[in-house]
Structure 1
Amino acid sequence: MEFGKSYWYSYEQGSSREWIITNGIGGYASGSLICSNSRRYHGLLIAALKPPTSRHLLLANLLEDLVLEDGTHVTLSSFKSSDGYINQGFNNLQRVSYDYFPQFVYSYEDIFIKKKIAMKTGENTTVVQYEIRNGSRAASFKLSPLVNYRDHHHQSKGCYLNFNMSINENEIGLSPKVSDVMLKLSTSTGKFISFDSCYFYNMLYALEQERGLDSFEDHFMPGYFIMELKPFECKTISFAATTENYGSGAINAGDVIREEERRLSELLDKKKYKNRLCRRLVLAADNFIVYRKSTDSKTVIAGYPWFTDWGRDTMIAFEGLTLVTGRYEDAKDILYTFSRYVKNGLIPNMFPDDGQQPAYNSVDAALWYFEAVYNYLEYTQDYSFVKEKIYSCLKEIFIGFRDGTVFDIRMTADGLITAGNPGTQLTWMDAKVGDWVVTPRHGKAVEINALWYNGLMIMSSLAKKFDDRDIYSNLAKKVKASFDKEFWNGADNCLYDVVNDFGKDPSIRPNQIMAVGLSYAVIEGDKAGSVVEKVWKELYTPYGLRTLSKGNPQYKGTYSGDVWSRDGAYHQGTVWTWPLGRFIKAYVRVNGSNEEARRNALDFVLPFINHLKDAGLGSISEIFDGNSPYYPRGCFAQAWSVSEILRAAVEDVQIENFNDI
């Protein structure tokens, strides 16, 4: 991906796109296209102190400056302060390229500077490599670190930023007085000049201001690194920020970058996709698969920059992130980990970090687990692992749903699943502000029962494979008949969203597409075709499916404002990308699963090629506005958005067969 000056004619334009680099344990580095900090989650080192959580901002940014021999001061840094001042280093930014990592190329008169940023996998370590081609005058290059110590969800004021500091030529150690964390900053050359109690005050985060949140922050400035440049000298400078114990000496940024590029190249080689969208999404997928210390296993970060790992998101994203990418060992690890924590027929929706019991407040996570196991077998044929480690857990989930479990989750006399009560939200449409449940969906939810039928069919196939008694197929037939009776909305030729004591909710939502878009469809034929047509006509947008039809009086087409406004729109019209993957599967299925259907389905995938250069570079956003121009919102990199578009492109569209794309 290449970006030129037309992407940053102004500070606001340049700071609207964002990049992220991750370290495989929940930590990350992130910033805007012009390397400004435009949200609280931007920084060069956000360390995961309890992988993959307890994420803390340690290094917000580096102020980069050239000082020429005649005293001319040239800034490369871009930021905005509370008084409206804009530091316009982006005027000296010539271009940005993004392959494995972002590279920024600056030029001033006859001087060129290339900057590349990377993180070391498995460590809270960020490196920056500068390649400087100096011009005809002697100059000095200054790096002034903006240091912090706070949870990445919060913001700091200077009076609370107190550090113990040690200096050794071109290396400094900083330890916040409220913690035993040690941050080491070093360069490969030059020396460090310390300041006396210096702070950067009132950096403005415009994206937080837009979200109705506190938007100003202070940073501690311990001093600056300075490197001398001779006329026409070419110099490579390594900068590193780390919490790891490397002893004395600088970390070589070039070595880290080459090691990480090799690792990512090997990930691409697992499947050798030729299509550029698929290759980019394979790299994006890598950001979400991380190590969790408390379970000593792999897990999935739901979205960057603010989500952690969630059971539901992990199961929905499972196939695209681990199977389509060829990461079968990671897939196996995730399945086994969740099997160890099955309780009351449920899998965890969230793992804690301090020894508490996992949270199980999800009705759909366990049902998506069936789909994940089924697809793992489709890719690997690893039946021995499933029989030995997973099958008994699947049976436990089945019994929990059939006989009833916590959160009022139980099977009713007609074979369908009901769950929750008016005060709970157990499905993925779980926005709640205070006591306000925005989209109450207790009772029989359409996608829950589609997943239930899918799970029963999967259990039936496994029982036969393992020579076990098949107690599932007859129940599946009953569920299928009851589903048609309860959920078919003949007036609108589609499915009701929820059935409960208050009646049948005719709201047109994307949940009904699961009845056609899972491995085993609970409805078929003309009715399945009608559901796909209804969803396409009323919910489809270029970047996903609206969560509510525009014709509904509760529809909200813009996701913006404070938390009440945003959560009030979250599932009331806001577009989500991940259900589009299941829509594509359903579309291809009802149209014959032939080449013509797949070529037509390309039109649902191709808009994401352009989106990769918008919002979160190289990734797919969590949500979009329901109204045109469908502005990207929420997390700028979301696991199930990436996974479902990659899965649909590879499996359903079979995009690799279309050489003209």
Structure 2
Amino acid sequence: MNVMTRPDFIRFGREICGNLIEAERREWWLADGLGGYAAGTVAGTLTRRYHGLLVAPLAPPLGRSLVFAKADAWLDLDGHIWPLCSNRWPGEIIDPAGHIHIESFRLDGRMPEWIYAFGDLRLTIRVWLEPGASTVYLAYRADWPKAQARDLALRIKLLANARDHHGNAEPRRFNPVIEPDGADGLIVRNPPGSGSAPYRLCFKARGGVIRPGYTWYDNFDLPLERARELPDWDHHLCVGECRLPLVNGEWSGLTASLHSDASPYVEEAMRRCQAHDDGVLARAELRDAPDWIRQLALAADSFLFARPLPDRSDGVSVIAGYPWFGDWGRDTMIALPGLTLATGRYDDARRILQTFARFIDRGMLPNVFPEDRIAPEYNTVDAALWYIEAWRAYVDTTGDLAALRAAFPALQEVVASYREGTRYGIGLDEGDGLIRAGEPGMQLTWMDAKVGDWVVTPRIGKPVEINALWYNALRAMADFAGRLNLPGDEYETLAERARTGFQRFINPSGGLLDVLDGPGGDDSSVRPNQILAVSLPHSPLVSGEQVAVLTACGATLLTSYGLRSLAPEHSDYRSQYRGGVRERDGAYHQGTAWTWLLGHCALAEFRVSGDAGRALSRLEPIRDHLLDAGLGTVSEIFDADPPHAPQGCPAQAWSVAAVLEAWWRISKSKRPDDRIRRERP
């Protein structure tokens, strides 16, 4: 196994930490492997409803609720009280303003660490989630000259809640039972019938004292929700106050858990968390990786979570993005190679593929598993085709023919259903060998924004990336059949027909048309979907046609952080992603830049030029982005116009995965014994 040190390049001093605007725009995100998470700002303020120390899946596999919002601490230093916390209130009031005492902030791998300075005293705070458990730890350590005798303690207010993580708290609705658990413990029970999911939250402050309390703190101000034109306030209940003495040079800690047997020993828990991250890096297939790629390997781990099935307890899936997405079929399959194969997690890759196999219906993969409903939704034309590509990537990487043989009937069902016809008008046009899809009122491609009855980019007809995926899938199926000593002539014949029919997409003005045979005819809008016809392992285009596609995308769509979803000269182009739901969804695929496409652009450039260095240089701006927005991870989208401000989810699975996969595949090509496939039809 490769041995890689945890990355340690994401760090800031007082110039960032003491500047509220800069400290608030930088967020840390942690995940527990169960779908739960913790998040906050460098400043310590809450700026969105999703910030909290423990957001847990109370109704697994998702059904997430905020249960532990904040641990607001003050330092009692020789009788002087110093705030370590910061809070926002209406009217731009910041009280207290503990962030001004932060000397530095860094990520140790994924673990946030703050250092506060008070003269010759340094106070370090760390926070992390226990992998595979709904448990959060906060560790505190004070260091000062050993010759000095000092009396130090922390006073920590424990703010709890019991609301869906998408919502805002209703004042006084949360009315838990609060009970002491010895001098150093506290139990908070949200009973059944309370109007929210029941839970039992256990606090433990080893070596400290926790006294129960019941005080509401109303109207926390949430500016990021206000920017989205959503309710911009929240209320949290202080369920107790902890007094935690500090000993020079030793860690003290606070534990909050939904498990009654959570260990209170913070140093051991810290080592477990660090060992988990070390293990992630040790098995990664990222030889000679720079620091930012190692950081992405850790970020990739945050998106994998347990999705047990009735007959399979080890099911695995992918959180599409934090904080507001669950697991989506399309996103999962696009992200799978980068999240699992590039990081050496072959068992997880296989389990994800096998988990989703249980949900194939009429040849289709679910688009989304809703958090509040059991039945999955199937409104996607591309997820099943990405599923075949994910199998191709898995088999090419692992050679696992036993798993392929078991899955092959399901893959055959996908091709047969698309050929014969399935939901939403999806089916094969026998005239040109291409896949058509769509019906009024439905959004089936990845450009899936819909507001009420308004489908922003319906793309009814024959979308270019769907047919690039169709050709790629047919070639993969022919290869699978050959590996398994099964007949594959049907797939070869269909692939050749699709390759010939794909010539209809060629635009005499350059690049490819976006949609053929739509209600209004062919759509020549310059969009990034065409890049997949070059970046996928099996391309239906010859070399000169591939160059034309790359040129068309590079000239008008390429930005530092991704490809624009529409060329700027189009009348529907939106330069910024702003406003309420209608305005934001209207801009979502009408100019907004998407990072997951940057990885495909790099792969396409390498295929066309063979210049690995040039292709990898397309990915390098992501390193700078890792020090902004969601620290150590990659945002979902960026404004179309410079300076390309990050928007959407601050941590998005396919953004991380596509960059990782591209770096992994292109870097592998540098080694003569392990070259990337650069197929020429």
TM-score (norm 1): 0.95
CA contact (8 A) 1:53 1:353 kept: yes
Q: Tell me the residue number matched to 2:227.
A: 210
1:245 aligns with: 260
CA distance in 1, matches of 2:514, 2:249: 67
Counterpart-to-counterpart distance in 2, 1:608 and 1:272:
17
- How far apart in 1 are the matches of 2:178 and 2:512? 65
- How do residues 242-641 of structure 1 correspond to structure 2 at under 5 angstroms? 242-246=257-261, 251-270=264-283, 271=285, 273-275=287-289, 276-294=291-309, 296=313, 297-351=315-369, 356-387=374-405, 389-413=406-430, 414-470=432-488, 471-485=490-504, 487-591=505-609, 593=610, 597-641=611-655
Out of 68, 80, 99, the residue aligned to residue 77 of structure 2 is: 68
Displacement of 1:623 in angstroms is 0.2
| Deviation string, structure 1 residues 459-489 (Cα, Å, up to 9, x no partner) | 111222222222111111111111112x111
Which residue of the partner structure matches residue 651 of structure 1?
A: 665
Query: CA, structure 1 residues 641+229, in 2 after alignment: closer, same or farther (shift >3 Å)?
Result: closer
Once residues 57 and 390 of structure 2 are traced to their aligned partners in structure 1, the CA distance between those partners, rounded to angstroms, is 28
Counterpart of 1:118 (choices 125, 128, 134) is 128
* Cα distance in 2, alignment partners of residues 382 and 182 from structure 1: 43
C-alpha contact 1:273 1:656 (8 A) present in aligned 2: no
Residue identity in the other structure for 1:85: I
| Stretch moving more, 340-349 or 320-329 | 340-349
**Range 512-521 or range 466-475, more displaced:** 466-475
Deviation at 1:133, TM superposition (A): 2.8
Letter in 1 for 2:224: L
1:294 Cα offset (Å): 4.2
**Local SS of the residue matching 2:500:** helix
Cα distance, 1:374 vs. partner? 0.6
Q: 1:78 aligns with which of 73, 86, 92?
A: 86
2-structure distance, mates of 1:192, 1:467: 67
Is this contact kept in 1: 2:141–2:246, CA < 8 A? no
Q: Which moved more, 1:601-610 or 1:543-552?
A: 601-610
8 Å CA contact retained: 1:625, 1:631: yes
Structure 1 residues 352 and 626, CA, compared in 2 at 3 Å: closer, same or farther?
closer
- Give the Å deviation of 1:136: 4.9
The offset of 1:137, in angstroms, is 4.0
| Structure-2 separation of matches of 1:354 and 1:531 | 41
Give yes or no for contact 1:446–1:512 (8 Å, CA) kept in 2: yes
CA RMSD for the aligned pairs? 1.8
| 1:149 maps to amino acid | A
Counterpart secondary structure, 1:541: coil
**Distance in 1, Cα, partners of 2:571 & 2:667:** 35
| Cα shift at 1:35 | 2.2
Contact 1:602 1:655 in 2 (8 A): no
Name the structure 1 match of 2:5: none
Distance in 2 between the 1:627 and 1:378 partners?
38
Counting only pairs closer than 5 Å after superposition, residues 37-56 of structure 1 correspond to structure 2 as 37-56=46-65
| Pairwise CA distance, 1:599 | 1.0
CA contact (8 A) 2:460 2:519 kept: no
Could you tell me whether the CA contact under 8 Å between 1:294 and 1:353 is conserved in 2? no
Give the direction of change, closer, same or farther, for the CA distance of 1:289–1:498 in structure 2 (3 Å limit). farther
What is the Cα deviation at residue 606 of structure 1?
0.8
The CA deviation string for residues 622-641 of structure 1, in whole angstroms up to 9 with x for no partner, is 00000000000001110000
Determine if contact 1:317/1:644 at 8 Å carries over to the other structure. Answer: yes
Shift of 1:34: 2.1
Flag the 1:97–1:493 CA change in 2: closer, same or farther, 3 A. closer
Q: 1:79 offset after TM fit, Å?
A: 1.5
Contact kept in structure 2, 1:601 and 1:653, CA below 8 Å = no
Post-superposition Cα deviations, 1:47-93, rounded to whole Å, max 9, x if no partner, equal 112334111111111111012344x2200001111133212101111
Matched residue SS, 2:106: strand
1:363 is paired with a residue whose SS is coil
CA contact (8 A) 2:18 2:101 kept: no
Distance 1:569 1:5, change over 3 A: same
> In structure 2, the residue corresponding to 1:159 is in which secondary structure?
coil
* Mapped contact 1:516–1:524 kept (Cα < 8 A): no
Change (3 A) 1:611 1:353: closer
One-letter code of the match for 2:417? G
Which residue among 636, 656, 676 is the counterpart of 1:642? 656
Instruction: Tell me which residue corresponds to 1:92.
Output: 101
The DSSP-based 3-state class of the residue aligned with 1:605 is: coil
Q: Aligned pair in 2 of structure 1 residues 491, 47: CA closer, same or farther (>3 Å)?
A: same
What is the distance in 2 between the residues matched to 1:480 and 1:33? 52
Compared CA separation, residues 199 and 361, structure 1 to 2 (3 A): same
1:109 aligns with 2:122: no
Contact 2:368 2:377 in 1 (8 A): yes
Alpha-carbon distance in 2 for matches of 1:607, 1:234: 39
Deviates more, 1:218-227 or 1:629-638: 218-227
> Deviation digits for residues 223-274 of structure 1, max 9, x if unmatched?
31113457xx444211011011218xx6212211111211211111113533
Measure how far apart 1:406 and its partner are. 1.2
Matches within 5 A, 1:28-43: 28-43=37-52
2:211 to 174, 193, 198: 193
1:290 aligns to what SS in structure 2? strand
Letter in 1 for 2:269: V
The percent identity for this pair of structures is 37
Any stretches of 5+ residues in structure 2 without a counterpart?
A: 1-9, 672-681
Change (3 A) 1:340 1:223: closer
Alpha-carbon distance in 2 for matches of 1:621, 1:522: 31
Structure 1 residues 638, 139: closer, same or farther in 2, change over 3 A? same
Structure 1: segments with no counterpart, 5+ residues: none
Give the conservation status (yes or no) of the 8 Å contact 2:428–2:434: yes
The superposition leaves residues 423-466 of structure 1 with CA deviations (integer Å, 9 ceiling, x where unpaired) of 11111000000011111111111100110011111111122222
Aligned residue for 2:552, secondary structure, equals helix
- Deviates most, 326-335 or 99-108: 99-108
How far is the alpha carbon of 1:339 from its aligned partner?
A: 1.8
Task: Please give the alpha-carbon distance, in whole angstroms, between the structure 2 residues aligned to 1:83 and 1:627.
Answer: 31
Q: How far did 1:10 drift?
A: 2.4
Paired residues, what number? Answer: 646
Match of 1:7 in 2: 16
1:155 aligns with 2:168: yes
The structure 2 residue matched to 1:129, chosen from 118, 122, 139, is 139
- What amino acid maps onto 2:429 in structure 1? T
